[in-house]
Structure 1
Amino acid sequence: MSGGLKNTFFGKRLRGVGAQEDQEPRTTTKTRFNPVFPIATAVGNPFLTSEAASASTPSLDAASSSGSSSVAPESPAPDAPSPKKDYGDRFIPSRSEDDLITSYHLKDNGPATPTKKNRIIPSESDAPKEQSNALFATVLHTEMAPELPSRPSSPVRPVTTPTAPTTPTRRKLYSFNSPTKTSPQRALERGRALDDPTSSAYSLSPVRPQSSKILRSPRRDARNVCKTPYRVLDAPELAEDFYLNLVDWSSTNVLGVGLGSCVYLWTAHNAQVSKLCDLSNVSDQISSVSWVQKGSLLAVGTFSGRLYIYDAATLQLSRQYTQAHSQRIGSLAWNSHLLSSGSRDRMIHHRDVREPGLDPVQRSNGHRQEVCGLKWSNGVDNGYASSSGSGPAGLLASGGNDNKVCIWDLRGSKRPPTTAPSTHVSIGTSRARTGAPGGTSASGDEGAGANDSNYLFKFHAHTAAVKALAWDPHVSGVLATGGGTQDKNIRWWNCSNGAMLGELDTGSQVCNLIWSLTSHELVSTHGYSSSHAQNQICIWKYPSLEMVASLTGHMNRVLYLAMSPDGETIVTGAGDETLRFWNAFPKRSESEREGLGGERSRLDYARLIR
């Protein structure tokens, strides 16, 4: 060390470091470290030495680590340039920034962009609002882009005979007067416009005459539907199961609800509640309820396959079938004295409640999975007499978890189809069945081995379970069906020839369908949805398929639906354990009430003769 640096501060510091190295010999290596990962510094040492780097990061140079050296480290110069960064072959890049799903909190399998085929139901919609929006859009278009007046045709230069050239006279070649003001034809047009009393010169309206004409044009008043329920009832233990039917409204204005192992009756005119039965003593639960069209009989199906028939007027048990089905009974449907039950055992049993026997009079099997929907086409299916029904023993529609809809004709008549079979429809046979229950079928259908698999039609268009079924009370033979979560479609069928009349993509799970008695409209309740709108009640205009209103309020899927006997009120039930009552349809006139709710039919023209 030079004599000039001996007594300086840096010389004393170097001598002290050298003495420590002599006492503790060590091996120095050439250090390499990854600057991406932070290295902790020693406490009290603001500088990071090579020893600290070698202690925190293992050596990457095998050759330098083999030999030992006692060379003292150099003092870090404050103005020394930073050493060149050498990442080496141990550099591991961070891939967290490349993960867009994690970085931006994206969801896997998110809903696709809605298209015309994937229709999304708006959460709030009604006919007056849509009519006002359409009128506003028309007026706005008229004001912003008015129709241009028809331009006159281009003038045609008359053909003249050539003349000899003459000396030009002294006249002005350019005229600075406005031709529009001095033109006689333009002045005549302005005079005629002022003679018109509808001229814009006399109008006090801020809009154009075309827009005023649109605003003054007569329009049909849109029906306004109240968006809030007028009554909400608590329904504890109301099961949230898509395959059950736990709510029904009788013709005597009594609502039957299955809650857990009990059935409760709610009388509409006085709001009185009474318990009809309790099956907790046999460890059973209610799976379906259904009222007879006229009367006070209520059929109750259970999870264990039992079937009970109660008289709601006396709260007494009238019939009991302990082995009606081998599994739960999810759907029931009445046709006068004939009671049909659909079960998870894939069978449909038909019983005559007037007979004391326990065996069904007929059996039907056309489904491969649980039967979750049953509906008769007779004219008194909804508690009123209609002239468009198919008689007291009409067609039976059944929907199953196998995504199929079967049409049954139990009257024994054979109806040849009028349309050719397609990929959406299978055509079966309907033979006279006079044999005793237990006879085998010779149809060779996919439900072979069943007692009766001779369906009339089978529809294959749906791609999810079909629980929602509704016969049109205004047009004979028209059936509406709704699919589950993977389908989301409502389809209309002509059950006279098996043709599909139309379909509507609702954008959400269809849980129930019911027709209005006062207008040609259809009510649908929904559950799971591919959009933000779900758990709504929608009213559709048929056959235009326009939405009349969308009612919201339930917090869970709207799995249950029933209509009052007067056709003005609907009640909905959901997994949020509430029953909500909606004024969905207008009141009927006195003539309609006499024709639909009384004993006389609309076809009785003799009562109209004075």
Structure 2
Amino acid sequence: MPLAVGDYTDCKMVTKCKIKTPKSAKRSLVQGTPSKVGGDRYIPTRNAVQMDVAHFLIAKNNDQENESPTKKEHQKSWSLNLNGYDIEQTKILRLSGKPLCAPEGYQNNLKVLYSQSTTPGSTKKPSRYIPTMPERILDAPEIRNDYYLNLIDWSSLNYLAVGLGNNVYLWHAESGDILPLVQLEGQEDYIASVSWIKEGNYLAVGTRNGEVQVWDVERQKRLRNMVSHTARVGALSWSSYILSSGCRVGQIHHHDVRIARHHVATLNGHSQEVCGLKWSPDGRYLASGGNDNVLNIWPSLTGNDAELQPLHTFTQHQGAVKAVAWCPWQANILASGGGTSDRFIRLWNANSGSCLNAMDTRSQVCAIVWSTEYKEIVSGHGFSQNQLVIWKYPNLTKVAELKGHQARVLDLTLSPDGTAVCSVAADETIRIWKCFAVDAAKKKKAATNQTSVLHHGIR
């Protein structure tokens, strides 16, 4: 019978009926907001924040499952069985934290170099040991404290010649014997310069009275007494049988020691005293420095030398140019140093006439010598530290300083084997510095290689 509207009994029966709600609708009521009320189901809506939270929860659950201890142990056992090592312990690239150290004895099968220490190619080679103390110290009483004189020279026969007052003494570096060679007779005369010929058996001596003497060391006898200058001869240099001498009035004379009329040419390129004079190793150029702050480079003798002119004249130095020295392995490179008003060391190319480099040493440059074993030069200085400085060629970076003299360094000379530098100073001492020592094994190997080359060439 159909129910009538307002029938209380029937309506009460209807309200007691249970209507089952779908599970999806219940979940929607909890997690979302119903979009529509009514009907038999609910359609939920989610905003962006809720989607991000849900994604985070799902990813977190997955990570926890993947990092389970059981799975890690399986991966470790597989890595040990397949590779022989745990791959987790040998990772080089990591997203966070510092890379782990390789296990002791580990070697990558892919030949990848892995080490926390620097590789051999990037390791800086240690510099050689340079003693800062002299190997020997000799007395030089009555050494003349004159910047413009050249009073020591070391021969190829290992004799060191020293001009002291009006005497010249020879010191044999190997035996230590001292031999008096020259004694000037004049009371006011004194030794102004000494220079050995390349073979080492003849010594040239310049005096205050303008004489140039040539002595035979073996026989201890004077061979020549050449008079052509009118003032003291403070600089000498040999080129085969030609002996060049520079004097106080600025002239340079060439002497042919083989003939009676020894004076064969005169060079007029300085207005004041010539204090630096050196022939290049190949005999092509003569470098002369003067108290007029001028550095000249002259050509070799050609036969018609009545009016020789300098190839190059350099005026960059602002002080007297006494320190001049030619490179032993590159005969066209010249080093020069200026006096107190200048203090610069300059490198020159004699072929082009260009200045290759310049360095302010901040003290008077008294002398320069080149090393024959290393690409380095040594300079002797005056005020204020009176030191020797070793410079790298060609950038002129400082390698070492050798200190010990109590007054300015007057002159430098190199030992015949190229391992030691001799300095004489106004403190009346001569010091031998072993600053170019060569590794004996390396030198022996080089000599062996050279011998084998010659042997193959002869065959």
Q: TM-score range by the shorter chain?
A: 0.7 to 0.9
Q: Note the C-alpha offset of 1:356.
A: 2.4
TM-score, structure 1 length as denominator?
Answer: 0.57
Structure 2 counterpart of 1:587: 438
CA–CA distance in 1 between the matches of 2:313 and 2:451?
Answer: 33
Write out aligned runs for 1:7-86 (5 A): none
Structure 2 counterpart of 1:196: 91
Structure 2 counterpart of 1:403: 293
1:563 to 414, 422, 426: 414
Structure 2 counterpart of 1:492: 347
Q: Deviations over 1:341-372 (max 9, x none)?
A: 00101100010111123x51111010111100
CA–CA distance in 2 between the matches of 1:324 and 1:211?
Answer: 74
Contact 1:511 1:527 in 2 (8 A): yes
2:263 to 360, 369, 375: 360
Contact 2:235 2:245 in 1 (8 A): yes
Write out aligned runs for 1:511-550 (5 A): 511-529=366-384, 534-550=385-401
2:280 to 373, 377, 392: 377
Does residue 345 of the first structure (1) align with residue 345 of the second (2)?
Answer: no
* Structure 1: gaps (5+ residues): 1-163, 205-209, 379-389, 413-431, 440-451, 596-601
Does residue 333 of the first structure (1) align with residue 237 of the second (2)?
Answer: yes
Select between 569-578 and 584-593 the one with higher mean Cα deviation.
584-593
CA–CA distance in 2 between the matches of 1:312 and 1:356?
Answer: 21
* Structure 2: gaps (5+ residues): 1-34, 36-43, 73-86, 103-113
CA–CA distance in 2 between the matches of 1:310 and 1:168?
Answer: 111
* 1:526 maps to amino acid: H
CA–CA distance in 2 between the matches of 1:347 and 1:586?
Answer: 39
RMSD (Å), alpha carbons? 3.5
Q: How many residues align?
A: 379
Give the direction of change, closer, same or farther, for the CA distance of 1:170–1:492 in structure 2 (3 Å limit).
Answer: closer
CA–CA distance in 2 between the matches of 1:301 and 1:170?
Answer: 102
Larger RCO (alpha carbons 8 Å, 6+ apart): 1
Q: Note the C-alpha offset of 1:166.
A: 4.0
Percent identity over paired residues: 42
Give the direction of change, closer, same or farther, for the CA distance of 1:326–1:170 in structure 2 (3 Å limit).
Answer: closer
Structure 1 counterpart of 2:106: none
Q: Deviations over 1:171-224 (max 9, x none)?
A: 69989x99x99996xx99xx98754169846449xxxxx995448742222111
Write out aligned runs for 1:163-562 (5 A): 166=45, 194-196=89-91, 200=98, 202-203=100-101, 212-214=116-118, 217-321=122-226, 323-357=227-261, 359-378=262-281, 390=282, 393-412=283-302, 433=304, 452-529=307-384, 534-562=385-413
Q: 2:254 aligns to what SS in structure 1?
A: strand
Q: 1:361 aligns to what SS in structure 2?
A: strand
Q: 2:382 aligns to what SS in structure 1?
A: strand
* 1:292 maps to amino acid: I
* 1:520 maps to amino acid: K
Contact 1:535 1:555 in 2 (8 A): yes
Q: Deviations over 1:423-452 (max 9, x none)?
A: xxxxxxxxx616xxxx5xxxxxxxxxxxx3
CA–CA distance in 2 between the matches of 1:526 and 1:167?
Answer: 88
Contact 1:246 1:287 in 2 (8 A): yes
Q: Note the C-alpha offset of 1:307.
A: 1.6
Radius of gyration: which is bigger? 2
Kindly indicate which of the two structures has a greater share of residues assigned to strand.
2
* 2:366 maps to amino acid: C
CA–CA distance in 1 between the matches of 2:60 and 2:198?
Answer: 82
TM-score, structure 2 length as denominator?
Answer: 0.74
CA–CA distance in 1 between the matches of 2:446 and 2:50?
Answer: 88
Contact 1:556 1:575 in 2 (8 A): yes
Select between 396-405 and 467-476 the one with higher mean Cα deviation.
467-476
